[in-house]
A and B are shown apart, each in its own frame.
Chain A
């Protein structure tokens, strides 16, 4: 399920493939068990910047390697594959479980529920590994929750970069735009062109 990606990519432009980070609703990204509140927002970057974690990275609390990352998108996306760059010395996550379009998952939920897909990760410090998804299940993803239950033995789990590859559709979920509510029906608001032209039929 993991494919090796040749680092010298002259044939196609890597960065455009991994551009789903632009569709991530960064203000609503959240994580559970992060040591520094808000640090999860720094892991979504452009492909070229994936190794540059000068703005900070996501780290779990001391002695507890579990992490949950909640990623909402600004529109529904089709997710093709995910890339994770972890930390050194066993702080890379070892497993990843994904849940789609569910709000407010916490650790007890994550442990009891069946994920949409699960992966065994390897240490991927250069960010050249990507983990493919079962594409048919990831066709309209409004938000995705990633649960990392384990790491490679380190005290904490560090995630420096999360890359998302796929397509963004223009569809949006749950967005209620301007709706006009009528308390009492007023027929004059609903005249069709035929009615104004005619004149015999009237609604009182």
Chain B
């Protein structure tokens, strides 16, 4: 968003007829110029851009620095190719045009396209560069087209003389399949000294966006917002899950009270028909550890406090079991996945003997306790009611 006045120096010499850039060098250059003008005027509405040609009959200023993009693009029409480029005169006229800019607060910048060989000495160019630096004018050089032995060297020397604090840049564009403008988009000439890709440059790059979620908030604000909100929700849930895991580690020592509450939670477990990651149960079915499966079943409930309670019971039961711990953590994190498959869970819970064995292994729970027996009986009846559901579901699953 730097406030800048830019003069673009175009090479319209005979060397621009060559077709090594498609369709020809001049057209590639014109496209690049159009893109730069757009980028500059968009990054700050008070920026001004001017254009001059360096070849032809002599250096000619087509449009003095203006913020009117239409005027700039219009003057690019009907440009003729011919003559020889005069680099030194071009840069000096550009400097003069910038000196008489209307808004003295703007930084001065010259962008020069060098497509033909440079006939000036290195010394002359360095002198020009130093004069630009003295008057705090930045210079961007686009080296394309003809490549002879001294050209790069001379241009690099010019850049070194002008460069003040990395405000000036040089870009070498060899002929190739990609267009001149595409190569320039990723350079600091477009992005403006590392301010970050401007919205214009990102859009012009056609899909390679620097935006989060790959969606331009300007183009589709609702989608971008929805994506961002869901990302934040996911993050919040994961944080909550991590907190739960931390809590259960802290609650390792609790005993009897937890087990009585466990009875009620077991009934709760049957009813809410929510999350069960099918993939995980399938994996665990292979595991011979009954407690592991039980831990999984225990963790199916969404309510956080009960999960914590039940998980602590399980960790009580088999504190040394690393697989169990792993499964606990996995299940806690994955708790919110919505699936409607409960056949496995129901099967586990319906298995009377299985449940008794579980209860027996828990500290402080006596299977012969009348309360526990009542509970088991009620669960059994509930699972019988669900058999109708179970059968078709199992068929679906298979």
Contact = CB atoms under 8 A, between A and B. Distances in A.
A108 B137 CA distance: 14
Interface string B144-167: 000000000000000000001100
B134 A32 contact: yes
A51 B373 CA distance: 94
B104 interface: yes
Interface in A106-157: 106-108
A103 B136 CA distance: 15
A107 B133 CA distance: 12
A33 B104 contact: no
B134 A64 contact: yes
Chain A interface residue count: which class? 10 to 19
Contact of B99 (A33, A103, A106): A106
Contacts of A104: 104
B104 A32 contact: no
Interface in B88-139: 99, 104, 130, 133-136
A66 B104 contact: no
Interface in A70-111: 103-104, 106-108
Contacts of B135: 32, 106-107
A191 B139 CA distance: 59
Contacts of A32: 134-136
Contacts of A107: 134-135
Contacts of A61: 130, 133-134
A64 B136 contact: no
B99 A37 contact: no
Contacts of A33: 134
Given A32-B135, A106-B135, A107-B135, A64 B99 contact: no
Given A37-B164, A37-B165, A103 B134 contact: no
A108 B134 CA distance: 11
Nearest to A105: B104
B377 to A, nearest CB: 83
Contacts of A64: 130, 134
A106 to B, nearest CB: 5
Contacts of A37: 164-165
Contacts of B130: 61, 64
A106 B133 CA distance: 12
A66 B133 CA distance: 13
B165 A66 contact: no
Interface in B154-198: 164-165
B218 to A, nearest CB: 32
Interface string A15-33: 0000000000000000011
Nearest to B136: A32
Interface in A22-53: 32-33, 37
B367 to A, nearest CB: 81
A64 B126 CA distance: 14
Contacts of B133: 61
Contacts of A106: 99, 135
Interface in B242-283: none
B164 A66 contact: no
B8 to A, nearest CB: 21
Nearest to B100: A104
Given A32-B134, A64-B130, A66-B134, A103 B164 contact: no
A103 B99 CA distance: 12
Given A32-B134, A32-B135, A64-B134, A103 B104 contact: yes
Nearest to B133: A61
A146 to B, nearest CB: 16
Specify which of B133, B136, B165 lies most central, judged by the most chain A CB atoms within 10 Å of its CB.
B136
Contacts of B99: 106, 108
Nearest to B104: A104
B160 to A, nearest CB: 13
A66 B134 CA distance: 9
A107 to B, nearest CB: 6
Interface string B208-225: 000000000000000000
A182 to B, nearest CB: 27
Interface string B331-374: 00000000000000000000000000000000000000000000
A104 B100 CA distance: 10
A107 B104 CA distance: 15
A106 B134 CA distance: 9
Contacts of B104: 103-104
Contacts of B165: 37
B110 to A, nearest CB: 15
Nearest to A64: B134
A106 B136 CA distance: 10
A103 B102 CA distance: 11
A154 B104 CA distance: 32
A64 B133 CA distance: 11
A104 B136 CA distance: 12
B153 to A, nearest CB: 22
Contacts of B164: 37
10 contacts: A32-B136, A37-B164, A37-B165, A61-B130, A61-B133, A64-B130, A64-B134, A66-B134, A106-B99, A107-B134
> Closest 5 CB pairs between A and B?
A104-B104, A33-B134, A106-B135, A103-B104, A37-B165
Given A61-B130, A61-B134, A64-B130, 12 more contacts: A32-B134, A32-B135, A32-B136, A33-B134, A37-B164, A61-B133, A64-B134, A66-B134, A104-B104, A106-B135, A107-B134, A108-B99
